[in-house]
Structure 1
Amino acid sequence: MATDYDAQRKTDDDTESIDAIKERIPSKPSLNDDDVDNADSFSIPDVVNEELDVVILPLQENEFTCMSCFLVKPLSQLGSKSRAGKICTECAS
């Protein structure tokens, strides 16, 4: 079925007054002293304290670093060479 997205869409819900809509919106809760005191009970998860072991490999012979996006790419994705350095095919296009 074809739909005309430019046509005005009116339903029975559109006849509701702005005052009725405002009444449905809950009032914003105010901050009191109890909320401020509970800020001290926040604890950082133990995941933050764990050490991560990451092995960093040096740049391989068949890889280059694109001087536009700064990603390490294989030489098969070499797009062009400029004075600034090597550029990958994605950044060259």
Structure 2
Amino acid sequence: MAKDFDAPRDDGVIDNLEELNARSTSTSASAIDIDEFEAAEGLELPGADLSSEQLAIPVLPPLDDEFVCTACFLVYHRSQLAGGSSALRICRDCYRT
């Protein structure tokens, strides 16, 4: 079916301020009241003490053909090492920026 894009639309656009105010007060009256303490119960804050936590995955050191980028601290294969000084181990992505 062809659609006439030049025809006026009625997508529920509110033309007057009174109708807008009536809709906004009716939606705010039905807002859900959430207890902040219950919502924040499962959140972990940055800087929290995690010394008693155990890692879920084993941590492996970089292999002989891998390096850690000194800019983004991600482990890459040596083929991603940017050209230049080998003292600064920077990946190609960080070298471009």
TM-score (norm 2): 0.53
Q: Does 1:86 align with 2:86?
A: no
Structure with the higher fraction of residues in helix conformation: 1
What amino acid maps onto 2:28 in structure 1? S
Q: Is the 8 A contact 2:14 2:20 kept in 1?
A: no
Shift of 1:21: 0.9
Q: CA deviation at 1:15?
A: 6.5
**What secondary structure sits across from 1:56 in the alignment?**
coil
Alignment of 1:29-40 (within 5 A): none
Shift of 1:74: 0.2
Give the corresponding residue for 2:57: 54
Q: 1:27 Cα shift? A: 3.0
Match of 1:20 in 2: 19
Identity, % of aligned positions = 29
Gaps of 5+ in 2: 1-7, 43-53
Q: Which runs of 5+ in 1 are unaligned?
A: 1-9, 45-50
How far is the alpha carbon of 1:85 from its aligned partner? Answer: 1.9
The CA deviation at 1:23 is 0.3
Runs of at least 4 residues of structure 1 off by over 6 A? none
CA RMSD, 1 decimal: 4.0
Q: Deviations over 1:31-76 (max 9, x none)?
A: 6xxx76xx67x986xxxxxx65411111111000111111000001
Q: Look up the SS of the partner of 2:90 in the other structure.
A: strand
**Number of equivalenced pairs:** 78
